[in-house]
């Protein structure tokens, strides 16, 4: 694929839009971002806060630890962190720089300021509105459809900024409609790696680091460590364990950035960490790893472009399919095999799955 080809330039733009750093689970961070921007517009510390969110935001924020808050959870904690310590210019790293004094102030703010949370149905799966009040003053910020997509800013009921939601994908984002497996394969095989090196190196470094931290620390259910103890450290287990460890770490307050995919840190980890581990095992070298990561990332984005940023569909499945494509490439697969794996339904029908032969259960080693 030539650099002058519109597909080449579009794919580069898609990667730059998608592979961005985020500190913590992206939904509470989006809330912190909205709250920080509202505080900036308000010009002072609010006396009360009203938060209106879609059901998917409630689900994704409810039990997640917010980074740099001394392990606080939930919507009010995310908003308070953004109000007290948020730096809105850093977007999804809005609360990546929080002092000890600010952590104490976050706790005090939650104790002393009323923060109401209301579920709203607006027709948008991803929807956050934060309104902050100080005396007669108020500031409102709404984010919809994407984690940093501010669509409305008001101060004292006067609109300072607004844009039509329907125009967002067409006018602001690269055209995901140009994504297809044949062209993704061609791009991954022919791209000048200098054009993607910085993006992919950042993904390799950040996501590998949090995966290692997840194995070393005590985060959540410690699934990565459990897998390694139960099944050993062969490459298949190690690839799963490191991805799980990175996910456990970021969901449980680890204060390290993740390079996301499709708006999700877990999907960013799933797209990259298993591919990185296989490349190490196979001695693939950096250039082949870059091309495998391009295949993995773009395959995952291609699938999610028709599903949406948040949905009932588990993003780990689409991200895992992307990683599978990248790993298959590292193992020598060609486009024909990859296309069949990603697009052909299983020969087992829904009914026959129940009666299909199953492999014998693997023996488990003791966990302790």
Q: CB of 21 within 8 A of CB of 259?
A: yes
Alpha helices in the chain (DSSP H): 6-18, 26-42, 55-61, 75-85, 100-112, 168-172, 181-190, 197-216, 223-231, 235-251, 265-282, 286-304, 315-330, 335-343, 350-353
114 — phi, psi (to 5°)? Answer: -75, 125
Query: What is the rounded CA–CA span in Å between residue 200 and residue 218?
Result: 28
Query: What is the rounded CA–CA span in Å between residue 174 and residue 39?
Result: 31
Query: In Å, how far are 223, 274, 280, 325 from 355, measured between CA atoms?
Result: 30, 31, 38, 28
What's the token pair of residue 94?
Answer: 């809005």
Query: What is the reported pLDDT for 169?
Result: 47
End-to-end C-alpha distance for the chain, whole angstroms: 52
Query: What is the reported pLDDT for 19?
Result: 96
Query: What is the reported pLDDT for 298?
Result: 98
pTM given for the model:
0.82
Query: What is the rounded CA–CA span in Å between residue 126 and residue 56?
Result: 7
Give Rg (Cα) of the chain: 22
How many CB atoms are located within 10 Å of the residue 355 CB? 8
Query: What is the reported pLDDT for 334?
Result: 75
> What angle do the packed helices 197-216 and 286-304 form, to 10 degrees?
90
Q: Which residues pair with 259 in a beta bridge?
A: 21
Query: What is the rounded CA–CA span in Å between residue 293 and residue 157?
Result: 46
Domains defined for the chain, CATH in brackets: 26-170 (3.30.1330), 179-351 (no CATH)
Query: What is the reported pLDDT for 341?
Result: 52
Query: In Å, how far are 34, 55, 157 from 153, measured between CA atoms?
Result: 10, 22, 9
User: HSE (CB half, 13 Å, CA atoms) of 229?
Assistant: 9
Give the mean pLDDT per block of 10 residues along the chain (368 residues): 95 96 91 98 97 94 90 95 97 94 97 97 93 97 93 97 70 86 96 97 98 95 96 96 96 92 94 98 97 98 86 85 96 70 42 41 41
Farthest-apart Cα atoms in the chain, separation: 69
Query: What is the reported pLDDT for 34?
Result: 98
Q: CB of 318 within 8 A of CB of 302?
A: no
Query: What is the reported pLDDT for 117?
Result: 97
Q: What is the DSSP letter of 74?
A: S
What's the token pair of residue 234?
Answer: 């062969």
Q: CB of 203 within 8 A of CB of 19?
A: yes
Give the Cα-Cα-Cα angle 143, 149, 154 (nearest 5 degrees).
50
Give the Cα-Cα-Cα angle 304, 325, 315 (nearest 5 degrees).
30
């Amino acid at each position: 694929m030539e650099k002058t080809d519109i597909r080449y330039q579009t794919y580069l733009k898609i990667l730059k839009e998608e592979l961005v750093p985020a500190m913590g689970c992206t939904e509470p961070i989006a809330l912190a971002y909205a709250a920080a921007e509202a505080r900036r517009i308000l010009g002072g510390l609010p006396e009360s806060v009203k938060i209106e969110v879609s059901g998917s935001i409630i689900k994704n924020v409810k039990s997640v630890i917010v980074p740099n808050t001394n392990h606080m959870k939930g919507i009010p904690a995310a908003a308070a962190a953004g109000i007290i310590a948020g730096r809105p210019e850093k977007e999804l790293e809005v609360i990546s720089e929080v002092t000890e004094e600010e952590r104490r102030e976050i706790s005090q703010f939650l104790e002393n300021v009323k923060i109401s949370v209301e579920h709203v149905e607006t027709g948008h799966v991803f929807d956050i509105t934060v309104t902050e009040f100080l005396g007669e003053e108020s500031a409102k910020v709404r984010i919809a459809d994407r984690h940093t997509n501010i669509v409305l800013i008001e101060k004292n009921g006067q609109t300072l900024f607004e844009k039509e939601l329907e125009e967002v994908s067409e006018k602001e984002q690269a055209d995901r409609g140009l994504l297809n497996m044949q062209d993704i394969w061609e791009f991954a095989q022919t791209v000048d790696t200098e054009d993607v090196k910085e993006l992919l190196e950042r993904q390799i470094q950040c996501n590998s680091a949090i995966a290692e931290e997840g194995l070393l620390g005590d985060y959540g259910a410690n699934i990565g460590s459990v897998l390694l103890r139960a099944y050993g450290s062969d490459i298949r287990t190690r690839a799963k364990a490191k991805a799980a460890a990175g996910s456990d770490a970021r969901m449980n307050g680890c204060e390290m950035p993740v390079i996301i995919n499709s708006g999700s840190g877990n999907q960013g980890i799933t797209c990259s960490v298993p591919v990185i581990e296989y490349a190490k095992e196979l001695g693939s070298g950096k250039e082949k790893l870059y091309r495998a990561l391009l295949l993995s990332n773009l395959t995952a984005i291609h699938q999610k472009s028709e599903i949406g940023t948040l949905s009932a569909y588990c993003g780990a499945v689409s991200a895992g399919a992307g990683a599978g494509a990248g790993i298959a490439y590292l193992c020598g697969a060609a486009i024909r095999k990859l296309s069949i794996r990603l697009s052909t339904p299983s020969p087992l029908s829904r009914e026959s799955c129940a009666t299909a032969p199953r492999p014998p259960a693997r023996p488990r080693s003791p966990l302790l």
